[in-house]
Amino acid sequence: MVKEDFPALQGNIVYLDSAATTQKPRQVIEAIKEYYERYNANVHRGIYELARISTEIYEEAHEKVARFIGAKPQEIIFVKNCTEALNLVAQLLSQLVEGSNIVSTLAEHHSNLLPWWKLSKERGMELRLAEPDADGVIPEERITDLVDEETAIVAFHHSSNVSGHILDPRKVSKAAKKAGAFTVLDAAQSVPHLPVDVRELGVDAIAFSAHKMLGPMGIGVLWMREELLSRMEPVLLGGGIVSSVDLDLSPVWKDPPQRFEAGTPNVAGAYGFSAAIDYLLSHGVEKILPEERKLARALTEGLKERGFKVLGRDHTSIVSFWREDLDPHLLAYKLGREGVCVRSGYHCAEPLHRHLGISGTVRASLYLYNDGEDVERFFEALDRVM
Amino acid sequence: MEIDLRKAGKGCADNPVAILSDFIAKGTPLCIILRRDQEDLVKELLDIGGYRVVQRREEGEYVVVEARR
């Protein structure tokens, strides 16, 4: 019955591109509309009632996101998206890091690779990249084997946006902590699908986006431990981040998170994000991944029966597949004409594909609104176009 | 519309299918400069989009295809 909540799914489409962005339930769409119709005012500035309500809405969103991942509200920095969060954390950590190497993996999304590449170039550090196994999966040991006492940062994914494989962050963070390194987790594909408690993960920072968990585009989250945030200077400077600016311009920074949220924030987005979290909580976050696994298993089996190779193992919400004799883009195009929405190419993880010698895959990705009928219709379409 | 596919890649946005599909959706008459290894793919895509090739010529190591609905 979930599908009925999603206006975009009422047409004749099979939406299997939720790893790129999820569709939005009516509750989220209505919340954004409600914000602009009833509460719109800038935050942390006005002393009139509307501005007070808008500020309250924005701060409540921090609290709601914090509760959702077991964090404190002051540790939640709203940014534009996960990419911005990962770039921001790289810039913030550059203020604290000591060491001669950064560890990441070849299976990262470009957003969790290029900021570390840039930082390593700027600092003359070595960027060590863990290689995937033949299934395109990074076993945790391949990351921890690269960590030594000179490692400054370990940046890795929680759930791969290509294979859907879920890493155990605790194994990595334990080794990193022992070496004195900071840990950054790309949680864009995990927070939407499974319960995440940042304290249990043992990492120092995580990044994720609202739009991949039913929320609006244009708002994402950087969570970082309070003790680290309090030691850092802001990267973006301007309004909203200072308590005072003296005649000589020497500023006094506000406390986190405001110190890191310069300028007018996306308040409507934050309100929509709150509505998305309410929706997920009422659905039951713990139910999402088990349901997706069932559908992913059916997808994987059906694809293998049709001669496709499938990346990864123990599939979760993502199934990336290819066949040497089929161009992935042309196949995705043909499926699109049948009303089946899938993605094709490198999925912003070109080094992984190049390492595996694959010139692109088709990716079907699931979320809580998908059901067995979607899988059936996917295969009906696939059989028609092949 | 003249479209040069010679430097098209295999990523999400820079591949021949992504580049051409926008124009095909609009029904724009096309003049496509492409590599020989792209020819089968492009012809299949044009065919799906209801296009017919009205002229094909070879220019050195490249091929120029004119197609319209």
Enumerate domains of chain B plus CATH numbers. Answer: 2-68 (3.40.50.150)
| pLDDT mean by block of 10 residues, chain A; 386 residues | 93 96 98 98 91 97 98 98 98 94 98 98 97 96 98 98 97 97 98 97 98 98 97 95 92 96 97 98 97 98 98 92 95 96 95 94 98 98 96
The per-residue pLDDT for A46 is: 84
Instruction: List, for residues A293-349, the tens digit of each pLDDT value.
Output: 999 999 999 999 999 999 998 889 999 999 999 999 999 999 999 999 999 999 999
User: Cα dihedral angle (A275, A277, A278, A280), rounded to 10 degrees?
Assistant: 130
The per-residue pLDDT for A370 is: 98
Instruction: List, for residues A151-200, the tens digit of each pLDDT value.
Output: 999 999 999 999 999 999 999 999 999 999 999 999 999 999 999 999 99
Q: Do A334 and B48 touch (CB under 8 A)?
A: yes
This prediction has a pTM of: 0.95
The per-residue pLDDT for A60 is: 98
Question: What's the complex ipTM?
Answer: 0.88
Whether the CB of B48 is below 8 Å from some CB of chain A: the reply is: yes
The per-residue pLDDT for A1 is: 66
Nearest chain A Cα distance for residue B12, angstroms: 5
Nearest residue, CB atoms, A359 vs list B10, B17, B18: B10
The per-residue pLDDT for A23 is: 98
Active-site entry in A92, A129, A203, A348: A348
Nearest chain A Cα distance for residue B27, angstroms: 15
Q: Which residues sit opposite A79 in a β-bridge?
A: A220
Is A241 in contact with A253 (CB distance < 8 Å)?
Answer: yes
Whether the CB of B45 is below 8 Å from some CB of chain A: the reply is: yes
Instruction: List, for residues B43-55, the tens digit of each pLDDT value.
Output: 999 999 999 999 9
Q: Do B12 and A337 touch (CB under 8 A)?
A: no
Q: Do A360 and B10 touch (CB under 8 A)?
A: yes
The answer to whether the Cα torsion of A319, A320, A326, A332 is positive or negative is positive
Long-range pairs for A251-255: beta carbons < 8 A, 24 or more residues apart = A255/A74, A255/A230
Nearest residue, CB atoms, B15 vs list A334, A345, A348: A345
**B15 contacts on A by Cβ (under 8 Å):** 329, 344-345, 360
Whether the CB of B12 is below 8 Å from some CB of chain A: the reply is: yes
Enumerate domains of chain A plus CATH numbers. Answer: 2-22+285-385 (3.90.1150.10), 27-281 (3.40.640.10)
Whether the CB of B15 is below 8 Å from some CB of chain A: the reply is: yes
Whether the CB of B34 is below 8 Å from some CB of chain A: the reply is: no
